[in-house]
Amino acid sequence: MKNNKLLVMITLIGFHVISQAAELEAKLGWTDYQRHGFAVNGVVDKVQVKVGEKVKEGMVLAKLGITPFNYHIKKCQAKSDKFNPEIFDAKIELDQAEELFERTVLSEVELQIIDGKYKKLIESQKEVNVECLLSRWQAKLSVLKARDFSYVLSSNITESMVISDENKTAVFIELVSAKQASAVSLLSYQQKTQFNIGQEIKVIVDQQAFPAKIESIAMRPDKDNKYKLEAVFYYTKMIEPEKLIKLNY
């Protein structure tokens, strides 16, 4: 009698638990605010950007009239150049005096007088050259340039405006980063404990996910007992401040 072998197949069915990412509401915001204002006095010649415009690094935003700066530079350079023939003659005289001193024809006191005359001319020219450097530096400061890839957020600089010590700190062009945006969320204390600075999360803008990193978490709550969390992420579009977005973690 043949024994039939019964093949028993045991199928193990595994249960796959898919954990869904938790979600928080947040608001879109700018990052890297920059205020570009003039550090020198003058009259605004041109404003070359408009609010909302995207600018590249090194792009000219606005500039003062350059004529007064060029005048001071040329005047200063001419003043410095006037020393050259005097210094040349004084150096020849000093070389001759040193030779005569070596031959004991000239006294040490006489040599010191000639040497002092030469050194005084050199120092005087150096002082003038410092003034020239300052004039050139001021000319550079008469041009405002973007330091990075940015958007023009606001500007109260207008053409023909006089920039003086009285208004220098109050007039500027404000830029914000065109490379990054921020996501700001207000958390309860319990939610706050789930996050750390530097933690990587996802920001959802118009159903598109962007990798982000938590940059700051408030140590103390606001008046509504909420803790501010700010994450930054790569974003090159012109944002809508306060636009509602999501954080996934």
Render pLDDT for 83-106 as a digit per residue (tens, 0 to 9).
999 999 999 999 999 999 999 889
> What Cα–Cα distance (Å) separates residue 43 from each residue in 51, 180, 246?
21, 34, 47
Closest to 185 (Cα-Cα) out of 234, 218, 210? 218
Query: Same domain, yes or no, for 61 and 78?
Result: no
Residue 192 lies in a domain: yes
Is the distance from CB of 164 to CB of 189 less than 8 angstroms? Answer: no
**Which burial class, exposed, middle or buried, applies to 62 when counting CB atoms under 10 A from its CB (0-12, 13-18, 19+)?**
buried
29 pLDDT band, cuts 50/70/90, is: very high
CA distances from 34 to 42, 77, 140, 172, 175 (A): 22, 35, 19, 10, 5
pLDDT bracket for residue 36 (50, 70, 90): very high
Q: Is the pLDDT of residue 17 over 60?
A: no
**End-of-domain residue from the set 95, 117, 141:** 141
Distance CA 184, CA 4 (A): 71
pTM tops 0.85: no
The stretches of 30-177 forming alpha helices (DSSP H) are: 67-81, 83-102, 108-141
Which structural domain range is residue 122 located in? Answer: 67-141
Average pLDDT score over residue span 184-199: 95
11 assigned to some structural domain: no
Q: Are residues 222 and 186 in the same domain?
A: yes
At 239 the pLDDT is: 84
Domain boundary among 80, 114, 141: 141
Residues 216 and 187 in one domain: yes
Asked which of 126, 141, 156 is the last residue of a domain, the reply is 141
Tokens for 142, please give them: 């008469």
Tokens of 168: 């220098």
